[in-house]
Amino acid sequence: MIRPGKMIKQVLQSLFMKPATLLYPFKKSPMPEHFRGEIIFHPELCIGCQMCVRDCPSRAIKIKKTEDNKFEAEIDLGKCIYCAQCVMSCPKKALESTKEFELAVLDKSKLKIIFSADPKKSSDSQKTP
């Protein structure tokens, strides 16, 4: 049975306590050291071994050869499960996991990012490495 006296005491105590939640959109908390967020590609480091493509459980990465020893990557962030298996398997560290996690968009096609070997053609110009 609920006792009104105890309930009123709890309500009054709660009024003066510090909130246990964060003011998320207004005050952003720092991400932990090994947080796995958005994946970015560094084309100058890629050797085209395709290890990242083979290890990706969601098949979110495609690597294409554009020129001699130059590769571009297409990463579908809509398919990515952010496990960072591709980052760990890359022998040349051409893939990097960032702390960026706010990736919501209205148009699903904006989740496909092409990292071109030519920086002028790259669709990741609005992204920060």
Q: Output the pLDDT for position 125.
A: 40
pLDDT digits (tens, 9 = 90+) for 92-120: 999 999 999 999 999 999 999 999 887 66
What is the mean predicted confidence (pLDDT) over 61-65?
94
CA–CA distance, 119 with 116 (Å, rounded to integer): 6
Residue 77 pLDDT exceeds 60: yes
Alpha-helical runs (H) found in the chain: 4-15, 51-55, 85-89
Reference 94, options 125, 120, 63, 57; nearest CA is 63
User: What are the domain boundaries of the chain?
Assistant: 39-122
What is the mean predicted confidence (pLDDT) over 48-56?
95
Query: Structure pTM?
Result: 0.71
Which class in CATH covers the domain with range 39-122? alpha beta
pLDDT bucket at 36, cuts 50 / 70 / 90: very high
* Residue percentage of the chain with pLDDT more than 70: 90
CA–CA distance, 66 with 52 (Å, rounded to integer): 18
Residue 4 pLDDT exceeds 80: no
Q: Output the pLDDT for position 22.
A: 80
CA–CA distance, 8 with 3 (Å, rounded to integer): 9
Reference 70, options 45, 34, 35; nearest CA is 45
The overall longest dimension of the chain from CA atoms, in Å, is 79
The alpha carbon torsion through 108, 63, 68, 40 (nearest 10 deg) reads 70
